[in-house]
A and B are shown apart, each in its own frame.
Chain A
Amino acid sequence: EPEVTQTPSHQVTQMGQEVILRCVPISNHLYFYWYRQILGQKVEFLVSFYNNEISEKSEIFDDQFSVERPDGSNFTLKIRSTKLEDSAMYFCASSPDRAPNSPLHFGNGTRLTVT
Chain B
Amino acid sequence: AQSVAQPEDQVNVAEGNPLTVKCTYSVSGNPYLFWYVQYPNRGLQFLLKYITGDNLVKGSYGFEAEFNKSQTSFHLKKPSALVSDSALYFCAVRDDVEYGNKLVFGAGTILRVKS
Q: What separation, in Å, do the CA atoms of A84 and B112 have in the docked complex?
A: 32
Supplied contacts A43-B105, A104-B44, 19 more A-B pairs, CB within 8 Å:
A31-B101, A33-B102, A40-B108, A43-B44, A43-B90, A43-B108, A45-B102, A45-B105, A48-B102, A55-B101, A56-B100, A91-B43, A91-B44, A95-B101, A100-B101, A101-B32, A101-B50, A106-B36, A108-B42
Interface residues on A, range: 20 to 34
Q: Which of B43, B45, B102, B105 contacts A109 (CB 8 A)?
A: B43
User: SS class of chain A's interface: helix, strand, loop or mixed?
Assistant: strand
Report A's interface with B, CB cutoff 8 A. 4, 31, 33, 35, 40-45, 48, 50, 55-56, 91, 93, 95, 98, 100-101, 103-109
In the complex, how many angstroms separate the beta carbon of B93 from the nearest chain A beta carbon? Answer: 10
A40 to B103, Cβ gap below 8 A? Answer: no
B96 to A100, Cβ gap below 8 A? Answer: yes
1/0 contact string of B86-115 vs chain A (CB within 8 Å): 001010001010011111111110000000
Q: What separation, in Å, do the CA atoms of A45 and B2 have in the docked complex?
A: 13
Number of A-B contacts (CB under 8 A): 62
A and B contact pairs by CB, cutoff 8 A, 13 listed: A4-B43, A41-B108, A42-B105, A43-B90, A44-B105, A48-B100, A48-B102, A50-B101, A100-B32, A101-B49, A101-B50, A104-B103, A106-B43
User: SS class of chain B's interface: helix, strand, loop or mixed?
Assistant: loop
Report B's interface with A, CB cutoff 8 A. 30, 32, 34, 36, 41-46, 49-51, 88, 90, 94, 96, 99-108
In the complex, how many angstroms separate the beta carbon of A100 from the nearest chain B beta carbon? Answer: 4
A56 neighbours in B (Cβ, 8 Å): 100-102
In the complex, how many angstroms separate the beta carbon of B111 from the nearest chain A beta carbon? Answer: 14
Q: What separation, in Å, do the CA atoms of A43 and B6 have in the docked complex?
A: 13
B44 neighbours in A (Cβ, 8 Å): 43, 91, 93, 104, 106
In the complex, how many angstroms separate the beta carbon of B94 from the nearest chain A beta carbon? Answer: 5
A98 to B43, Cβ gap below 8 A? Answer: no
A98 neighbours in B (Cβ, 8 Å): 101
Q: What separation, in Å, do the CA atoms of A93 and B34 have in the docked complex?
A: 15
